[in-house]
Amino acid sequence: MNNQFEIIMIQPKTSLTGSVIKMLPIGLLYASYKVVKSGFTVHIFDARIKPHRWEKDLRELINAKTLIVGLTVMSGVSVEESIKISRYIKTKWPSIKVVWGGPHPTFSPNDVLSENSVDYSISGYGSESFFELVCNIAVIQDAPDLKKINGLSWKDKGKIITNTQSFDFEFLYYKDIPYHLIKNFSDYKYVDTNERIFPMYSVMGCPYKCTFCSSPAQYASLKKKWMPYSVSDVIEHIKMVKEEHGATFIYFIDDDSFVDLKHVENIIDEINRLKIKIKLGFRGARINEVAKMSDDFIKKIADAGTNNMHIGIESGSDRILSLIKKNTTTKQILEVNRKLARHKNIKVFYNFIVGFPTETIEETKMTRDLILRLIEENPSCFVIPLNKPRPLPNTELFDLAVNYGYKPPKTLKDWGKYDVESSDYNPVWLSDAHNKFIRMMFLCMYFIDDKIIRISEGNSLRFIFMRILSFFYKPIAVFRFKRGFYRFLLEDKAYSFLKSIV
Element at 198 (helix H, strand E): strand 197-200
Give 154's contacts (C-beta < 8 A, 6+ positions apart). 113, 119, 120, 121, 146, 160, 161
Mean pLDDT of all residues belonging to the chain: 90
pLDDT attached to residue 115:
94
Report the range of poorest mean pLDDT among 129-138, 162-171, 439-448.
Answer: 162-171
Give 98's contacts (C-beta < 8 A, 6+ positions apart). 68, 69, 70, 71, 86, 89, 90, 117, 118, 119, 120
Residue 424 has pLDDT above 70, yes or no: no
Residue 187: which pLDDT band, with cuts at 50, 70 and 90?
A: confident
As a whole-number percent, the residues of the chain with pLDDT over 90 amount to 69
Residue 470: which pLDDT band, with cuts at 50, 70 and 90?
A: confident
- The average pLDDT across 307-316 equals 96
Q: Got the DSSP string for 35-56?
A: HHHTT-EEEEEETTTSGGGHHH
Amino acid at 317: S
Length of the chain measured in residues: 502
Residue 167: which pLDDT band, with cuts at 50, 70 and 90?
A: confident
Amino acid at 334: L
The torsion region of residue 314 among left (phi > 0), alpha (psi -120 to 50) and beta comes to left
Residue 39 has pLDDT above 70, yes or no: yes
Give 335's contacts (C-beta < 8 A, 6+ positions apart). 291
Residue 182 has pLDDT above 90, yes or no: yes
pLDDT attached to residue 472:
83
Distance of CA 91 to CAs 9, 85, 88, 368, Å? 18, 10, 5, 48
Model confidence over 210-233: pLDDT tens digits? 999 988 888 888 889 999 999 999
Report the range of poorest mean pLDDT among 50-54, 173-177, 423-427.
Answer: 423-427
Amino acid at 434: H
